[in-house]
């Protein structure tokens, strides 16, 4: 990436604010995570906690995190080598690969085991099941969001033709909630963390969820070929960070404030709201004590996803093969993971 006067000043300012580190740390390989969220949030700690909690240095690399709005932008940054690991939605990733089968990118890590796209209505609404939304409008982040395929498939499974529902782009966060509150849409289908943040600000929702995986991490084939061991370590950093978020969400929120600044106003209220958002988001991720391996996406899970979205997307097990989209070879090495650094922070709190 070209260095401008502005980026140089920003980099110099950031370096000046950093604590001194041992000389050996200067020679650690760098690794650039990319979140497909437009701005950092406490519930996306799995990408910034490796740096804040020191997991990156423990594992032998130096982490940095970039944020961009949506899978499409994240993949562009990945393909232009501006980041090393992107966080696409699985449905958006599948759509991109279907349009361009030669796209030199591999999914290497699955992070959730239920859909991260949640459809909600007001808790006191007359809509008790998703089929009640026939003839209504549903707001999504954008018409390119994986939420579109998710909500269409939710409707079809309940016997509703998706064309009987209007799907509307309402943006994110406050814009989406304003559209909902003003009755521009009767329902929302958004990322789980966004829904949880709305709840933290007083919204009361009835949730409609789906037990299919929809989020993961991807790398370019060329970067993986040259840096396999580094990619494994970076994904272990995500697993360690997820462990902290699962077992001590308050530490994750404190780390978020440490990196990005504490909120103005009532800190306790903000803390409670962010803890709620972390807990909600982590409810669909692997827990340290569950049966899943870190990052795994089995062929059975893949088939469940394709069966779920297939009727509306034209996907079948035959034309959307697991092996063409997910690369499972890193999973055994990722799971040679010592959770001790995470458990120490879970027990003792945020490092000084």
Here the CATH number for the domain that contains residue 78 is 3.40.190.10
pTM of the model: 0.88
What is the domain range of residue 189? 117-208
| pLDDT the model gives residue 4 | 37
Same domain, 203 and 328: no
Nearest C-alpha neighbor of 227 from the set 99, 68, 70, 108: 108
Predicted confidence pLDDT, tens digits, the chain (352 residues): 333 333 323 433 343 344 434 444 458 999 999 999 889 999 999 999 999 999 999 999 999 999 998 899 999 999 999 999 999 999 999 999 999 999 999 999 999 999 999 999 999 999 999 999 999 999 999 998 889 999 999 999 999 999 999 999 999 889 999 999 999 999 999 999 999 999 998 999 999 999 999 999 999 999 999 999 999 999 999 999 999 999 999 999 999 999 999 999 999 999 999 999 999 999 999 999 899 999 999 999 999 999 999 988 899 999 999 999 999 999 999 999 999 999 999 999 999 8
Same domain, 249 and 204: no
| pLDDT the model gives residue 26 | 59
Look at residues 148, 183, 208 and tell me which one is the last residue of a structural domain: 208
Does residue 339 sit within a domain? yes
Look at residues 183, 208, 233 and tell me which one is the last residue of a structural domain: 208
d(Cα 177, Cα 195) in Å, to the nearest integer?
Answer: 9
d(Cα 24, Cα 120) in Å, to the nearest integer?
Answer: 50
Backbone phi and psi for residue 278, each to the nearest 5 degrees, phi listed first: -65, -45
| pLDDT the model gives residue 18 | 41
Residue 135: how many other CB atoms lie within 10 Å: 10
Same domain, 110 and 220: yes
Number of domains within the chain: 2
Same domain, 122 and 163: yes
d(Cα 276, Cα 261) in Å, to the nearest integer?
Answer: 19
- For the packed helices 299-313 and 90-99, what is the interaxial angle rounded to 10 degrees? 70
| pLDDT the model gives residue 59 | 98
| pLDDT the model gives residue 38 | 87
If you count them, how many residues does the chain have?
A: 352
**297 contacts: CB under 8 Å, gap ≥ 6:** 107, 110, 213, 216, 326, 328
Same domain, 234 and 188: no
First vs last C-alpha separation in the chain? 33
d(Cα 121, Cα 181) in Å, to the nearest integer?
Answer: 11
| pLDDT the model gives residue 24 | 45
| pLDDT the model gives residue 80 | 97
Look at residues 146, 181, 208 and tell me which one is the last residue of a structural domain: 208
Same domain, 152 and 100: no
Number of H helices, E strands in the chain: 16, 10
Question: Residues 119, 188: contact at Cβ < 8 Å?
Answer: yes
Does residue 17 sit within a domain? no
d(Cα 142, Cα 340) in Å, to the nearest integer?
Answer: 40
Question: Residues 35, 65: contact at Cβ < 8 Å?
Answer: yes
Question: Residues 252, 42: contact at Cβ < 8 Å?
Answer: yes
Question: Residues 31, 56: contact at Cβ < 8 Å?
Answer: yes
Same domain, 197 and 101: no
Does residue 84 sit within a domain? yes
Same domain, 149 and 297: no
Same domain, 170 and 309: no
| pLDDT the model gives residue 11 | 37
Same domain, 58 and 168: no
d(Cα 70, Cα 29) in Å, to the nearest integer?
Answer: 27
Same domain, 271 and 338: yes
């Amino acid at each position: 990436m070209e260095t401008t006067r502005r980026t140089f000043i920003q980099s110099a300012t950031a370096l000046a604010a950093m604590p001194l580190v041992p000389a050996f740390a200067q020679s650690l390989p760098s690794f650039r995570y990319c979140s497909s969220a437009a701005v950092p949030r406490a519930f996306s700690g799995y990408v910034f906690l490796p740096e804040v909690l020191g997991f990156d240095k423990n594992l032998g690399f130096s982490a940095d995190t970039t944020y961009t709005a949506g899978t499409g932008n994240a993949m562009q940054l990945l393909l232009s080598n501006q980041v090393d690991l992107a966080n696409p939605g699985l449905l958006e990733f599948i759509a991109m690969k279907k349009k361009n089968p030669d796209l030199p990118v591999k999914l290497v890590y699955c992070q959730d085991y239920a859909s991260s796209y949640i459809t909600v209505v007001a808790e006191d609404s007359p809509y008790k099941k998703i089929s009640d939304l026939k003839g209504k409008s549903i707001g999504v982040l954008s018409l390119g969001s994986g939420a579109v395929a998710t909500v269409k498939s939710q409707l079809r499974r309940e016997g509703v033709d998706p064309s009987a529902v209007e799907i509307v782009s309402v943006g994110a966060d406050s814009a989406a909630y304003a559209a909902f509150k003003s009755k521009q849409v009767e329902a929302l289908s958004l990322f789980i963390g966004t829904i949880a943040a709305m709840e933290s600000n007083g919204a009361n929702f009835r949730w409609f969820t789906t037990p299919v995986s929809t989020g993961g991490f991807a790398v370019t084939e060329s970067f993986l070929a040259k840096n396999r061991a580094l990619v494994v370590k970076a994904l272990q950093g995500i697993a360690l960070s997820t462990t902290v978020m699962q077992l001590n969400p308050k530490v994750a929120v404190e780390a978020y404030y440490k990196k990005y600044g504490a909120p103005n106003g009532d800190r306790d209220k903000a803390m409670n709201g962010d803890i709620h958002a972390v807990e909600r988001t982590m409810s669909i991720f692997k827990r340290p004590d569950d049966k899943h391996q870190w990052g795994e996406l089995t062929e059975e899970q893949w088939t469940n996803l394709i069966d779920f979205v297939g009727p509306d997307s034209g996907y079948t097990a035959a034309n959307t093969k697991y092996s063409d989209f997910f690369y499972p070879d890193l999973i055994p090495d990722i799971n040679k993971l010592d959770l001790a650094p995470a458990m120490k922070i879970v027990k003792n709190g945020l490092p000084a």
